[in-house]
């Protein structure tokens, strides 16, 4: 894989990989969650195409937002337990600042 690098020579955020790979079971669970969310989005798309009642569409949008938030918290927990913990053990305290920024973005 070609890795893009920043001016400082660091690998850009879009090209980074986890230092602690997810096991196959965890990968499958995350993929199943994503597939359910995609299904919900397709359902909303269908509702809009069918000109369904706004309130019903908004309820489904809220459900998708909740599902995405839940997925984000699962990934954040995994990040804290693996990437952040490993980084701190290796003396990289800057990873704590990154973790705080990620938490703010997740809301």
User: What's the pLDDT tens digit per position in 44-101?
Assistant: 999 999 999 999 999 999 999 999 999 999 999 999 999 999 999 999 999 999 999 9
Predicted confidence at residue 6, as pLDDT, reads 47
Q: Does domain 23-106 have CATH number 1.10.760.10?
A: no
DSSP for 30-56, written as a single string = HHHHHHHHHHHHHHHHHHHHTT--HHH
pTM: 0.79
Structure tokens at 49: 């195409």
Predicted confidence at residue 20, as pLDDT, reads 78
For residues 82 and 74, give the distance between their C-alpha atoms in angstroms, rounded to a whole number. Answer: 12
Predicted confidence at residue 10, as pLDDT, reads 54
Higher pLDDT: 20 or 103? It is 103
């Amino acid at each position: 894989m070609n890795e893009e690098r920043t001016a400082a020579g660091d690998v850009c955020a879009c090209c980074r990989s986890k230092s602690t790979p997810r096991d196959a079971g965890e990968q499958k669970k995350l993929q199943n969650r994503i597939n359910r969310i995609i299904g919900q989005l397709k359902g909303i798309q269908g509702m809009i195409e069918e000109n369904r009642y706004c309130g019903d569409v908004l309820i489904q949008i809220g459900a998708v937002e909740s599902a995405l938030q839940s997925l984000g918290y699962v990934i954040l927990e995994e990040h804290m337990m693996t990437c952040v913990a490993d980084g701190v053990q290796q003396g990289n305290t800057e990873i704590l600042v990154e973790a705080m920024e990620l938490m703010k973005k997740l809301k």
